[in-house]
Amino acid sequence: MNSKLEQFANSGFMKKIQAFSVKLSQSPTFGTISQGMGGTMGLIMIGAVVQIICAIGGMAFGWKSGDALYNMLYMPYELTMGLLGLFMSFTLAYTYAKRLGLKMLIQSGFTSMVCFILVCSPIVSATTETGQTIRALNISSLGANGIFVAILIGLISVRITKFAIEHNWEIRMPDVVPEGILNSFNSIIPSGINILVWYGLAQVISQLTGGALTLGTLITKAISIPLSYLVSPLGMVVIVIVFCLSWFFGIHGGSVVFTAIMPLYMAAYATNAELVAAGQPLPFNPIFLYGCVSVIGGAGNTLPLCVMGLRSKSKQISAVAKASFIPGLFNINEPAIFGFPIMYNPILLIPFILNSLVVMVILYFAYSFNLMMQPHILIMTTLPIGI
């Protein structure tokens, strides 16, 4: 078996993939994505720990969303993972500006953050009982489901800034002005152009959709609509592949896929719960094959990768594996996806997709031959493996 694996690893196919992977890693764009995501690892780990604590509290003490203690403990997650896309828009722009040799590093990061908020988080208004109008940001799209938009804005905004500088679209200041102040003044015009471009795009989308969509939700909706027609055994194969490919390209796979199938998924659970209560047999429903994507360590079943990474000779891989293993037991695997990384890594994409498909085949036969009971209890995804 080992000799066959070695032959496959040294095959022409794998060498081409490895060469393509090296070429990607040497590209300023893809190198930026990897490094920019790595800059948020600390926040990701904090969010993962908070999720674990809340999951254990829910099992042991019955904590649930809405309880004062639960909400208090969950707040660090809301301010880390809940704003992950926002933070990543800064790290990506900062890293890309540095790779392109721009001096306005911090300014590029802040510009990217502002543009990200403009296109993903429209301001909502509410009136209190006293008649006071409160304006607030809708942060629902600033987390992991906004990562793809953060990548787009982080990269393109820096390119716009570089274009403006190369064409001398900047405010000239005397050389005696300190560099920090000089960079701030020089960034005014490039930042203004970026805001006009991205905010203009946001307004166009808002006007065309009657305010129903933002750039982030438009991308998600465009991908998710076709998926709702694929609820069959073969269709679920397509859905799982799209799920994994979405993560690979920086799009939150769950947001894209589960948004499309959630009504059918919830209805299937409700139907089965009623049948169990009535003592009726449960029919096979292909929608439950979706469970194959995250039963062993989160999206793509990455816990085995973390286990193997613990024995790696690479210090980087070993460190990521150690940081990802415990969260992986609770099906939280952002540390693995962003840390190894799996995103934009064509070599790891192969097992990332095949793993879920193999688990799907096992589930299909287990359900078909009544080796496993059809699901009828909707449980938390962060419950530890085995529970």
Q: Which residues contact 63 (CB under 8 A, 6 or more apart)?
A: 54, 57, 69, 70, 73
Q: Which pLDDT score is estimated for 4?
A: 65
Task: Return d(Cα 96, Cα 101) in angstroms, integer.
Answer: 9
Task: Return d(Cα 134, Cα 147) in angstroms, integer.
Answer: 28
Q: Which two tokens stand for residue 191?
A: 């930042």
Which tops the pLDDT comparison, 188 or 63? 188
Task: Return d(Cα 162, Cα 96) in angstroms, integer.
Answer: 11
Does residue 130 have a pLDDT over 90?
no
Which tops the pLDDT comparison, 116 or 340? 116
DSSP-assigned letters across all residues of 82-123: GGHHHHHHHHHHHHHHHHTT-S-HHHHHHHHHHHHHHHH--E
Does residue 34 have a pLDDT over 90?
no
Q: Which pLDDT score is estimated for 97?
A: 94
3-state percent breakdown (helix, strand, coil) of the chain, nearest 5:
70, 5, 30
Q: What are the C-alpha distances in Å from 310 to residues 2, 240, 318? A: 19, 27, 5
How many Cβ atoms from other residues are within 10 Å of residue 372's Cβ? 13
Does residue 85 have a pLDDT over 50?
yes
Does residue 241 have a pLDDT over 80?
yes
Q: What are the C-alpha distances in Å from 233 to residues 119, 209, 368? A: 37, 34, 11
Task: Return d(Cα 106, Cα 99) in angstroms, integer.
Answer: 13
Question: What is the per-residue pLDDT across 242-295, written as a single tens digit (0 to 9) for each?
Answer: 888 888 877 777 767 776 777 678 778 778 877 876 778 888 888 889 888 888
pTM above 0.75, yes or no: no
Q: Is residue 49 within 8 Å of 380, Cβ to Cβ?
A: no
Q: Is residue 215 within 8 Å of 251, Cβ to Cβ?
A: no
In the DSSP assignment, the letter for residue 296 is T
Of 77, 20, 32, the residue nearest 54 (C-alpha): 77
Question: What is the per-residue pLDDT across 291-339, written as a single tens digit (0 to 9) for each?
Answer: 888 888 888 899 999 999 999 888 888 998 998 898 888 888 888 888 8
Which tops the pLDDT comparison, 62 or 106? 106
Of 358, 363, 292, the residue nearest 331 (C-alpha): 292
Of 84, 70, 3, 6, the residue nearest 38 (C-alpha): 84
Mean pLDDT throughout 351-380?
Answer: 87
CA 177 to chain centre: 42
CA 387 to chain centre: 25
For residue 341, whether the previous peptide bond is cis, meaning omega lies within 30 degrees of 0, is yes
Residues in the chain: 387
Of 82, 88, 77, the residue nearest 32 (C-alpha): 88
Helices H, strands E: what count in the chain? Answer: 17, 2
